[in-house]
Amino acid sequence: MTQSCGRPFSEDWISGYLDGAISRSDGRRVQTHLRHCAACRRLLSDFREVRDLLSGFHQVGAPDLDRPERLPAQITVRDMFCKDLPSSWIL
Ligand SMILES: [Zn+2]
């Protein structure tokens, strides 16, 4: 499979390269291509941004409805997922 930039692999490999999920030899093929392809470096950067954003999410367990006294008074989307966003952002 050849992509528009000429890379002989799918963008899944770029994502896999970032996560260390592809073989070492495939990783070398991706790395070699990245050296001279700005479009794929941009794609790698986008994948990295998404991965970093997702790693910032906090896992929140389901509320314990049998013990309402332990429920927080109010949970906002910001409390659950977006603690690190600038407070000037309106969600
Ligand atoms: Zn490319």
pLDDT band at 88 (very low <50, low <70, confident <90, very high): low
- Output the CA 56–ligand 1 centroid distance in Å: 28
- Output the CA 39–ligand 1 centroid distance in Å: 5
pLDDT band at 10 (very low <50, low <70, confident <90, very high): very high
Comparing 65 with 6, the larger pLDDT belongs to 6
Which amino acid is located at 69 in the chain? E
Same domain, 46 and 67: no
Same domain, 51 and 11: yes
Grouping H, G, I as helix, E, B as strand and the rest as coil, residue 19 is: helix
- Output the CA 51–ligand 1 centroid distance in Å: 20
Same domain, 46 and 86: no
The mean pLDDT of the chain is: 81
Backbone angles phi, psi at 4, to 5 degrees: -60, -30
Across 13-40, average pLDDT: 96
**Structural domain range at position 5:** 1-56
Same domain, 46 and 77: no
Residue list, CB under 5 A from ion ligand 1: 5, 7, 37, 39-40
Please report the pLDDT score of residue 90 as a whole number: 58
Same domain, 35 and 66: no
pLDDT band at 56 (very low <50, low <70, confident <90, very high): confident
Same domain, 50 and 19: yes
Please report the pLDDT score of residue 54 as a whole number: 86
Please report the pLDDT score of residue 26 as a whole number: 95
pLDDT band at 4 (very low <50, low <70, confident <90, very high): confident
Instruction: Tell me which DSSP letter residue 69 carries.
Output: G
Same domain, 70 and 27: no
Separation between Cα atoms, residue 60 and residue 37, nearest integer Å: 40
Same domain, 47 and 8: yes
Separation between Cα atoms, residue 32 and residue 6, nearest integer Å: 13
| Count of positions (residues) in the chain | 91
- Output the CA 38–ligand 1 centroid distance in Å: 7
